[in-house]
Homo-oligomer: A and B are copies of this chain.
Amino acid sequence: MKIGVCDTTFSRVNMGAIAIDELRRHASVSIERYTVPGVKDLPVAAKKLIEERECDIVMALGMPGGVDKDKMCAHEASQGLIKAQLMTNTHIIEVFVHEDEAKNDNELAWLAERRTREHAENAVRLILRPDDLIKMAGTGQRQGFEDAGPARR
């Protein structure tokens, strides 16, 4: 099993390093890292990790800025990540933290770390323990902030 981790120099938190740390806690897999300038460079990087470096799943980590132009970049990147998955029949877990989700730099760093770690667990589940995800279906899971929980308890 090989997991790809691609992240950006644009991000204000080293999300790639955090992802690798968390992945190693949950599975003994080999890891390929690929850092690109910004989120729009992630789709092809993820696809290359899958097709050229034989990853079984990829985490695509990014931190879009808070203004409208940044949101459009994130949207374009997301569409590319979905397309890359369809072209390869391989999951790419998108982990985006929008700068305006946090009140200040401290919360931003906390949120980026927590969301990255929780999605690293999801990546491991997807390739090694898919039945764990079925058990969690419909339970209102969130990555980063608190879970929403099921609508009926």
Contacts and interface: CB of A to CB of B under 8 A. Distances in A.
Interface of A: 7-17, 33-37, 40-41, 43-45, 47-48, 51-52, 65, 69, 71-73, 75-87, 89-94, 98, 105-106, 108-109, 112, 119, 122, 126, 130, 133-134, 136-143, 148-152
A59 to B, nearest CB: 12
A94 B19 CA distance: 27
A39 to B, nearest CB: 10
Given A41-B91, A151-B112, A86 B47 contact: yes
A43 B82 contact: yes
Contacts of A52: 89
